[in-house]
Structure 1
Amino acid sequence: MGTINYDFIEEFIRQFIPERDALLLEIERSAKEKGIPIVEPEVGQLIYLLARIKKCKAILEIGTAIGYSTIILAGGLEPGGRLITIEKDKEMADEAEKNFQRLGLSNVILLKGDALEILKNMVSTGNYQFDFIFLDAAKGQYVQFLPLCYRLLNTGGLLVADNVLYKGMVANRDLLKRRKITIVKRLKKYLNQVTSHPNLETSILPIGDGVSISLKV
């Protein structure tokens, strides 16, 4: 189950999520066995629907892991659209690549390397603009990612960030663990910035581990 909601709420909601592809279910099991974090099923359904609603032609994902959310987002692309996803961990990136090949996802481009450096290069070339950016990488770097994501996001585009309530610690000091103080401070700073930004309209949803949705206006 997730980390911020009652189990019975999550179990009830998940009854209404469409049945997932066999490979997605296999990836879920593999991630659980290996302790690899992936989005909760209800978060997966949310980002899929947002991509469909926005009729996305270009999606950027920061933090591929083994490709679970990438596959979900790719399913929401418009015909002819493309998805670029970034992963620093070589072992996970290699596994994600195999999963994409198994599904024949020719519209997915996997970039291996440091996300901050890759984003800076994207901004400097001026050749990249996205309708939807899904941020699910190092939580302590969200604040650093934000200005780069903003530059790369089309007006009317969505910036969606996962784990923004971080096991409830962002909202409740009683849950805060000493070794997580820095991450929690930085996530709070990120939320302060996306909710006060003059050109972003933001909502924070208590699903999964907390999701923020920001519209560039």
Structure 2
Amino acid sequence: MNTPFDDARYKAFLEGGKVNCSVVNYSEIETRVFRLEPEFHTTASCSFSDYFIGEQIIELGQYNSIYGINENKEGYPIIRMNEFNGLFTGKAKLYSNKFSLDDFNLYSLKKGDILICRTNGNPALVGKSALVAKDYPYVYESHLFKIRPIDKLINSETLAVFLNTKYGKMEVRKFAMQGNQANFSLAKFKELKIPRFTELFGCGPKVSDF
């Protein structure tokens, strides 16, 4: 387990010197999010006065598995994070020939979907999101997952923008699991705090309506 002590701090502690460390009470851990790793409790995060929990705003959440990837245009086009174009999904460059028509109909991209990077060797890229602006005959690779929010609570455009802002990235970083590959799963998305925006943002009901 990670520790707030290094050799110098441990020596200072033994010699009665001043050591800076944080203490988290068990009562603070025993909440809806049970996380023991110190990074979760020390990572900077936002404080929203009014917010949803991620699971409250999801209409659809979906993983995918991709096989038979090729550059020969055999099968169905695949979107990867490499093809993200700013806030939007770009043009697919690879294909998968291991998809049935039923699979394609299940996993193809529809207007209002959001693709989110769930794992990457670079933690800064985990949680990177792209909006699907219209229906596309594409599927998505297994390093991504797809969500679609409940539009009357928050529309897709606003959610995609939030996830790519400094504050959205802070929330993702807090809930991501760190390791050789940083990982941000659909389950962790459901634990995020997502601010309630007003009608000024085109996000359904006013905050005052809740």
With the shorter chain as reference, the TM-score category is under 0.3
TM-score by length of 2: 0.25
Larger helix proportion, structure 1 or 2?
A: 1
Q: Whose radius of gyration is greater, 1 or 2?
A: 2
Q: Which has the higher contact order (CA 8 A, sep 6+)?
A: 2
